[in-house]
Structures are given as C-alpha cells and as structure tokens.
Structure 1
Amino acid sequence: MLNQSQPKNHTRQAGVLMHVTSLPDGQLGPDAYRFVDKLVELGALVWQTLPVNMPHGDQSPYQSVSAHAGHVGMISPQQLVEQGWCLHDELNLSLPALIDKAMRRVQSGGALSRADSEGLTWSGFARFCQTHQYWLEDFALFLSLRENHGFQSWQQWPQAYRMRDPQALHAYTAIHQEKLTLIKFTQYVFFQQWAQLKAYANLRGVQLFGDIPIFVAYDSADVWAQPAAFKLDANLDMTVVAGVPPDYFSETGQRWGNPHYDWVTMQADGFKWWLGRIAVQSTLFDILRIDHFRGLQAAWEIPVSEPTAINGSWQEAPGDALLKAITVQFPVLRLVAEDLGIITPEVDALRHAYALPGMKILQFAFGGGEDNPYLPANIEENSVAYTGTHDNDTTVGWYQSAPEHVRQHVQHYLATDTPDMPAALVQLVMQSSADLAIVPMQDILGLDGAARMNTPGTVDGNWGWRMQWSQLTTEQVYAFRQMVSESGRIDG
C-alpha cells in the first residue's frame, strides 16, 4: 500500500540532468533562465541540478562547507546589475566587493537604475536571518574563522575556536560583525536569486529536482557547530569514517572519510538537524533525491585508523523514524531514493514503506542476464530512469569503452549492429515504464567522454564541464522532443 505522504504521480515526465555550474556562465542569471526556456522546448519539465551547497576547493557539491548554505559562486553579478543593485563597471570587482556594494545600497533603500528593483530589501534580509538563524549564525562564524586561519580545517584552529569557547566566539563576533553580516547577506542574495529562478521555472511548468548528500564533510560548519551529533572523541577527532565495503568494482572498497552520525543523539531531539536541513532544501526544490539511501537503513563504518574500507562493519540507522519525521513535516515534498549498488531486502523494505521511487541506470543494464533490474523491460513505474548520471561516463563514452560482450548485448537488445548512440539509449529510457525519465545534458548534445562530469574515487579533473549554447542545435531539440512526445511524457 502506498504511503499517503508520498502520493503516486501518474503523470509521465521527462527531465534533464545538469548542474548549475555546467551552464555557460555557471550562474543563476540569464543563462539559467534561458535554460529553463530550452527545457520547455525540449519537453523536459524537470531540471535535476544536483546539490547546490557551497563546495570545497575540489568543487564537488557532495563535500560541502555547509549542508545548508548555497554555493555563492552561482550568484549572478549580471542579475544584480539588471535589478539595479550594482553598476555595470563594477562587474570587474571581486564577488565579496560587489556584494558589499549591493548590501550598502539595499541597506540605504536606494537601487541605482530601477524604481521597481527586485527581490532585495533590508527588511527581507532581516527576515531571512531570523528564519535561517539556526544554521546561518554558525555558518557565518565558521566561514569567517576559516578565512582568518588561512582556510585550514577547523581542527587546526586555536583551541578556543576549535572547541567553541563561548567567550572567545563572543569576542570574535563583536570584532568581526561587519564581515559576518556580509557573509549572511551573500547567502540572502543566493537564496533570493534562486527563489526568483524557481518561481520562473515553476511558472513555465518546470520543476526543480535537487539532491541531498547522505553525509557531510568533516571540515564543515555542521560538524564544527554540532559535534555531539557526530561520532567524535573528546578531542573532536573522528573515531569512524564512512564508505562502502569491497565489491565487484573495488577490492578494498571506498573510504570516503566523512564522519558518521551519532544517531542516538540525533533521534533524541527529534532529528532537529535533519529537519532543518530538509526545510532549507524544500524551499529550493520541488523534488529531492536522498543520496546513498541505503545509509538510512545501515551504513558502513570504518575505524579511522584503517587506510582502506576492508575492515569496516554495518551499523544500523533509524531510517524509518527519520523518514516518518520528514514526511510528516514536509508532506508535499517529493522524495527519491538513490538506491544504487548492493541493496538488501531491508533497504528495499524501507524505500517501499514510504513509496519512494528508486533509480534505474540503463548503462548498468547490459552484459548480464535478463533478470537485470536495470533492463528497460524490468523497470517499474515508481522509478526514475536515466541513461546515466553525473557519476557515469556520457553514453557515447560509455558505449565506446564498454567491453565487447556489453556492446553485443546492447546490439542484440536493439536488434542492430550499429546502434545510434546516444539516441538509442535515450529512446529506451523514454519508452520505459518509469514515471520520470532523466537524460544528462551531455547525452542530448551527443558528447563523448571528454564531457564527463565526475569519476567517483578521483579528485582531479571533475565538476568542470560546461555546455555552450552553440552545441545545442534545432535538430537536437526537435529529436529529443519527439522522443518525449512519442513516449507519452508530454502532449504534442
């Protein structure tokens, strides 16, 4: 029986997977609005953006400085100019300097060029700070302290700051009030620009689909501000780290290095931190994917002293209690479970208990038996089906580098020795029974492996791909829309 908190969506939909940073300018400005318009032309009324949190230097949105704060690199200076808060000749300033000028103008109530200046008001900033106080105050302190200590991990800070001595933090706040206000105002600008983009997308019938990483980075405002919520020792060092055990893909497993949650502490206060996290994401997105969903049932804990993931153990998590709390407080938010990898009956039972759609990746479908759950014929309706995701190669790159037996299976399945990639796989995902079919932008553009977004287990060379408008032809738009229409995912 379907859980009433996750009503069945009988409308077949199509969407596109692309991070905001993959737009030509990588920002929430004109290119983002143009992309929404292109999605409508494509017949893809879901935009899956991946997480939009502020990343560390490697730019991975799955290892962020904060589970709440937005990626300020997405702020559009051009939007600030167009809405009357900055001068065009100020665009050569650094983002902090530009935001500072905008903040002073908002504070004085005077836009430069438009009587109907949009979005930003000083009273709105005050309301934003009040609404987000539970994370924003700590985040501003964290970011300022981090900058003042050469961007070192908080564990390397002087003990008074590392251990959050109240007197030291109070004194620091008094001295750096102007900087802290600027950090908070910068977040206000991000959230306002996102809200404007979301309103435009929703008006055009496009839903925004986000992503919530299951774990947070150790060097984050969250762990620094709430160490009791994580498995740390008296010196606030990690005792265990997250990862996945050895499997077919890796003899030593994956040692991610994220801290594990202290679920007993989190459950004792009704999952306050988690509900606050979901509250922020629910304002940004219409649909939200829970990354590494199996970690809500049990997660692989590795002693911090172990160099690999081999000598870990499964530790159960209160996923049912957490999901119950989330669905009660956010009954309208559509949740999706990232259930890739080795999934146990217990994980499946947890997903089914809340009627959460799982994920099906067509690049995983071939080379095995006919019972492979990723084969199009085996995909159930309550699923989100993909050609591939941000962690996979592009479909062209995948097919070119696939083992011979995989290519032969593809050819047999498609009844042709010369499948047209990526169009053949795109058509399969559209024709599948999945309620939602998602295609990475690289596959719409027909790009090879040079356009791959991320290679799991590597640090360098990821998260840098950007599309160019010249790559998207009228013929590609028409062909994709035809496949969407023929699969009953739009009318006409």
Structure 2
Amino acid sequence: MRFPRSSGCLVHPTSFPGKYGMGDFGFEARDFLDFLERTHQTIWQVLPLTPTGYGNSPYASYSAFAGNIYLISPDVLYKKGLLTKEEIKSIELPSTMVADYDLSFENKNRVYKIACDRFYQNLAKEEEQAFNAFKKQNKHWLDDFVLFMACSLHYNKQPWNTWDDDIAQRKPGALKKYRKKFSDEIAFQYWLQFEFNNQWIALKKYANEKGIRIVGDIPIFVDHNSADVWANPKYFEVDKKGNRQLVAGVPPDYFSETGQLWGNPLYKWDELENDGFSWWVKRFKHMFNACDAIRVDHFRGFDAYWEVKASEKTAENGRWVKGPGEKLFDTILDKCGELPIIAEDLGFMTEGVQKLRDKYNFPGMKIIQFAFDSDSTNSFLPHNYSQNSVAYSGTHDNDTAIGWYKTTNDVEQHRARTYTRSNGENIHWEFIRLGMLSVSDQAIFPLQDFMGLDSAHRMNIPGTSSGNWLWRYTAQMLDAVDEVQIQQLVEISNRQINPTT
C-alpha cells in the first residue's frame, strides 16, 4: 500500500525519560507524542516491542508475539489503583541517559507481583470478561509462552533444549504436570501480558487520536531460546532434542571478513508452506493489530537467505538458499488484506529482492549516511530516490548524523558539505532537510538527530554484544529541540497530513 506523504521520528520506548531506570509506556511516552503533534509529525517508529533476551536486545527475544513486560508503567498501575504512592516511590531511580536494566527489572518485578495480586483479588466482572477475551484471542501463542516463561525461570533461564527431556520435548504428561506445578507463576505471566497489551493499546490510541501512526518492527528470524521454537520445533531447523542444525547469518563482505553468524535457527519453509504459512500469517496479523505499519527487518531473507551449519564457528562456509518469496506474501496478502509494510532492503540487493519488494509495492529504505561513499549515481543520494521509499538520516544501527560526520573520512565529509552546500557544522539539520525535501513519501529521523547528539548517544553498534540499547534522553533534552525548525521543514516539504491552506 502507499502511505501518505508524511514525516516522523524513530525512538524506542526504553529511551524515554522516567523515574524507574528505563523508559516505559508511562506519561513520558505521552509527552513524546505531544512533541510529535506540536511539530506536525505523524509517524512514530519503534524497535520490536517483544521481550528482550541476551544483551537486552529487542532483536533477540523469548517470543515473536509477547510484549516486553518491563515497558509496563508503574505510574499507570498506580493510576489504576493497583499500586500505592509509597510502593512506586520505593522503586524510583534517577532519570539518567543510560538505562539501568538490571535494577529496573528487579524493582519492577517486585511491584508487578503486588499489582498482580491486587488485580486477581479485586477482579470485577467486566475486567474478567476482558481478561478472558484477551486470553482466548491470543491462545495460539499465549498458553505456550506463559508456560515457557514459568519453566525458563525454574531452569534459571537456561536454553529450553537443556531442560529435562519430558518438558523440553513437550510430552503431554509433562505439559500437564508443569502447568499445575507452576500455576501461580503462569497466572502472573498471563496478567503481565494482559497489562502490557492494555497499556500499549491505550498509548497507540493516544497517538492515533493525534493523527500519529505507529510503525512497528518485525525481525525475520526468532531466537532459538524462545517459546516459538520450543512450541513449534517442526517449523525450525532443530533436531529431535531441540539442538540447532542450520542457522542464519550473512556471508563475508566489505564489513566483515568472516561474515556474521547470527545463530538463529532457520525455518523449514516446506513445513510452513504445508500448513499454509499459518504461523507467519498469525505473526503478521498480530503485528498489524499492534501497529499501523511494520518495518520488516532483513527483507532480503525472504528472497534468499544464507544457510550455515550450526557447528560452524563463522559464517564463511555457508550457501545461499531460495526463500519463500511470493508464496509467503501472496498468502499473507490474502489473509490480511492490505500490507502496510516497509522493506528493510539495505546491504547487497539482488534483482530478486527488488522484484519481490516492488511486486507488493513495499517502500524501501534510503539512508542519507550511506550517500557519500561514491559518485553521483549512489542510490542513497536524495536526487536518486523514488517516491515509494522512506528517507532516513540513519537508523538504530547507525551512528548519529553528527557522530558519522565527525568519524568518517575527509572525502566523505567533503562530499557531504558539497551536496548540502554547508560547512558541516549542523550536519544533522542538513540531513534532516535533505530527507524532508526528498521525493520519498516518508521521512523518518532518529530523535538523536533532532537533538543534535554525537556518537555517545547512538543506540546500537552491530556486531558488538555489550553496551547497546542503553540510550535514554532527559525531559530537558526534548524541551531543547528546535520545534519551530521542524514545523517549518514539515510545512515547506508538504508532509502535513492535513496541510493548512
């Protein structure tokens, strides 16, 4: 589908300010949406909202369907009468520019348990009906997920294929036994997912009422240590004991001599196709319910993906394998109707990937930071954009615009200055201006670029396993953004959904 000409901002909820060690769905999230409204922006792009696994990465999750419970706001729980003022005060932490996940998780777990007990003790009929409807609607993933989490905590979060054989291999007697054994934890996990959903839907409603659409993010692969693989091993390249056999990655390239070995189990696409791609259809339907549009990460993997044996130490010895391509997207289109999808088509793009993207009219991504490493034919230079694309100054995987400019080589700096006809001092605003004035239907910018921040504030450095996903801003930093400049750029680039005459 084609999106209206518009602009917006990329920031993950964990980056919001707040009193609890990390950003969440509380009042600061609404302050950010008010900022978007004041600056006439109509897109909010987030990273995956699923539970974070290793290194607190939203791209390594225990579930492709569940919500990250630590985004639940204690302030909202207090407003609902599930926590007292003293209880939320007891878990307050300084609002710094670095998330303190460990302490935040510990504190939030403590008050979540109190709130959960109050929820069950005072369950009114209307609330109970809503809770049961939520459980019924999400049964296809939720029942497995809550049991998986209860077992995972029991086994100290060790990978599920190391659990006792009976539960690792989901023997019916074991499933029944563990559901009974962990009934209290399971009840807690049900409530957490219900509360996450309620708070997110309320926040989405607040955004939508302001004319702001939310763009979610769907990683192509799922984590091996996830409820998805444990509950559906037939769809994944694992053996009878659940050990990985074939895993995902990318081959050696300009950035890495040995490629990248991601380690996610690959899909058994034949099995998925035999089931009418039902797991993927449910996944997309779930995402379209939660968000107004979706960025599909590593889109090229649907056309062809890099297959590596799990025993390999690097991604060098692999092979390209044909992906499901049109069969999958034809099915999703048939089952879901319109597909508001942005294709993450970065990296080496083959003719097959471009053909797949264009068949469904999915806009691709244009990153301005990539525009200055070659000549005027570079596809990331704004004069080469197509209308059906999304312009970005950078993404969560890039440095900030200022950070990029300060660390890139002299040649790229010179090209950037020449192209923007500037001295490079305000390169973040130059990049924002280029994106806004481009022909791309959408222009989305990381909040760090609106704030003019340097490399110390980047969100993620790909290929590194620590020190990522920690960035937060303060309320004062948002207040200091030049809102008038954004308003003017939105207006002159005709990116207002309802432009004033």
Q: Write the deviation string for residues 325-370 of structure 1: whole angstroms up to 9, x where unpaired.
A: 2122222441110000001001100011100000000000002021
Q: CA deviation at 1:378?
A: 0.4
**In 1, distance between residues paired with 2:42 and 2:7?**
6
Q: CA deviation at 1:417?
A: 3.7
Q: CA deviation at 1:101?
A: 3.6
2:439 to 424, 427, 433: 433
**In 2, distance between residues paired with 1:367 and 1:29?**
41
Q: CA deviation at 1:103?
A: 3.5
Q: CA deviation at 1:123?
A: 1.4
**In 1, distance between residues paired with 2:217 and 2:325?**
17
Residue 98 of structure 1 pairs with residue 111 of structure 2: yes
Residue 77 of structure 1 pairs with residue 74 of structure 2: yes
Q: Write the deviation string for residues 274-298 of structure 1: whole angstroms up to 9, x where unpaired.
A: 1111122112100101100000011
AA paired with 1:273? Answer: W
Note the 1:298-313 alignment, pairs <5 A.
Answer: 298-313=304-319
Q: Write the deviation string for residues 144-199 of structure 1: whole angstroms up to 9, x where unpaired.
A: 10100111111211111211121112111112212101101100000000000011
Residue 16 of structure 1 pairs with residue 9 of structure 2: yes
Residue of structure 2 equivalent to 1:391 = 397
Residue of structure 2 equivalent to 1:273 = 279
Q: CA deviation at 1:57?
A: 3.9
Q: CA deviation at 1:109?
A: 4.1
Say if 1:57 and 1:311 are closer, same or farther in 2 by CA, change over 3 A: closer
Residue 181 of structure 1 pairs with residue 187 of structure 2: yes
Residue of structure 2 equivalent to 1:45 = 42
**Is contact 2:451-2:481 (8 Å) kept?**
no
1:218 to 213, 219, 224: 224
**In 2, distance between residues paired with 1:102 and 1:451?**
34
Q: CA deviation at 1:472?
A: 2.4
User: Aligned Cα RMSD in Å?
Assistant: 1.6
Say if 1:474 and 1:56 are closer, same or farther in 2 by CA, change over 3 A: closer
TM-score normalised by structure 1 residue count? 0.94
Q: CA deviation at 1:388?
A: 0.2
Residue of structure 2 equivalent to 1:470 = 476
AA paired with 2:232? Answer: Q
Residue of structure 2 equivalent to 1:380 = 386
Task: Give SS of 1:300's match.
Answer: strand
Residue of structure 1 equivalent to 2:198 = 192
2:325 to 309, 319, 326: 319
2:466 to 460, 465, 478: 460
1:479 to 458, 467, 485: 485
Report the number of matched residues.
478
**In 2, distance between residues paired with 1:81 and 1:416?**
50
Q: Write the deviation string for residues 294-335 of structure 1: whole angstroms up to 9, x where unpaired.
A: 000110001112111111101111121111121222224411
TM-score normalised by structure 2 residue count? 0.93
List runs of 5+ in structure 1 lacking aligned partners: 1-5, 112-118
**Is contact 2:135-2:142 (8 Å) kept?**
yes
1:447 to 453, 471, 481: 453
Residue of structure 2 equivalent to 1:3 = none
Residue of structure 1 equivalent to 2:62 = 65
1:172 to 169, 174, 178: 178
**In 2, distance between residues paired with 1:373 and 1:14?**
20
Task: Give SS of 1:214's match.
Answer: coil
Note the 1:130-169 alignment, pairs <5 A.
Answer: 130-169=136-175
**In 1, distance between residues paired with 2:208 and 2:423?**
42
Say if 1:97 and 1:123 are closer, same or farther in 2 by CA, change over 3 A: farther
Note the 1:112-131 alignment, pairs <5 A.
Answer: 121-131=127-137
Residue 336 of structure 1 pairs with residue 342 of structure 2: yes
**Is contact 2:217-2:294 (8 Å) kept?**
yes
Q: Write the deviation string for residues 440-479 of structure 1: whole angstroms up to 9, x where unpaired.
A: 0000000000000000000111000001110124561111
**In 2, distance between residues paired with 1:460 and 1:104?**
35
Q: CA deviation at 1:84?
A: 2.2
Q: CA deviation at 1:97?
A: 4.3
Task: Give SS of 1:422's match.
Answer: helix
**Is contact 2:161-2:241 (8 Å) kept?**
no
**Is contact 1:362-1:376 (8 Å) kept?**
yes
**Is contact 2:382-2:438 (8 Å) kept?**
yes
Residue of structure 1 equivalent to 2:363 = 357
**In 2, distance between residues paired with 1:205 and 1:396?**
30
**Is contact 1:106-1:121 (8 Å) kept?**
no
Say if 1:132 and 1:224 are closer, same or farther in 2 by CA, change over 3 A: same
Q: Write the deviation string for residues 226-253 of structure 1: whole angstroms up to 9, x where unpaired.
A: 1110011232211111011111111111
Task: Give SS of 1:302's match.
Answer: strand
**Is contact 1:303-1:312 (8 Å) kept?**
yes
AA paired with 2:295? Answer: R
**In 2, distance between residues paired with 1:469 and 1:349?**
44
